Amino acid sequence: MIRLGGAVVVALLLGTASWSMAFEDSYDCRALAETSIGWDSKAWKCSAEASTSLQRPAIVKLSDLNAPVPLLTGQGVTPLRKVSEASGVVWFIEETATGTIVGWTLLEKPGPFSPPHATLVSTKTYELFGPGTFTALYRCVPNRPSG
């Protein structure tokens, strides 16, 4: 009887673990913070800015995450290429119309005692007056939580 009870507890724990690793299919994400770091070749110095009080926070939507081609909706609809996935983390690449590569990292934070949510981080490197990097941090909520 004790072995059967132990087996049931282990099965429940494994079922909960596998449930917590499954990604939601669609998220609405709102920017919380942004950083910009770059080299100004005219002034010959590095400059950096960071903000956590955004006047107009960017809003993006991730959809079809469990499909072969996930989509990012913001200023337009962009297909994403899934690069890698680990427990609770997935990495995407976006190529903009100008050829800039943007990396997107989604960290899912589901839990049995809190509403499901995720953190999304975007990073792009570009050349303007010198090399620069722009990073944004988003808080995401699923459109149809499965929990």
User: Tell me, what's the pLDDT at 112?
Assistant: 67
What separation in angstroms does the CA of 64 have from each of 14, 38, 68, 96? 26, 34, 8, 19
Tell whether 128 is covered by a domain.
yes
Phi, psi at 55, each rounded to 5°? -65, -45
Per-residue pLDDT tens digits for 62-118: 999 989 999 999 888 999 999 999 988 999 999 988 888 999 999 987 666 666 789
Confidence of residue 18 (pLDDT cuts 50, 70, 90): very low
Mean of per-residue pLDDT scores for the chain? 81
Q: How many CA atoms lie within 13 A of 35 on its CB side?
A: 11
Tell whether 13 is covered by a domain.
no
How many domains is the chain built from?
1
Domain limits for position 83: 23-142
Tell whether 16 is covered by a domain.
no
For the segment 33-48, the average pLDDT, to the nearest whole number, is: 89
**Partner residues linked to 55 by β-bridges:** none
Entry pTM: 0.76
What separation in angstroms does the CA of 44 have from each of 39, 49, 134? 7, 17, 19
Tell whether 15 is covered by a domain.
no
User: Tell me, what's the pLDDT at 3?
Assistant: 46
Tell whether 18 is covered by a domain.
no
User: Would you give the distance in Å from CA 87 to the centre of its chain?
Assistant: 14
What do you get for the CA distance between the two ends of the chain, in Å?
A: 31
**At residue 137, does pLDDT exceed 60?**
yes
The enclosing domain of 118 has a CATH number of 2.40.160
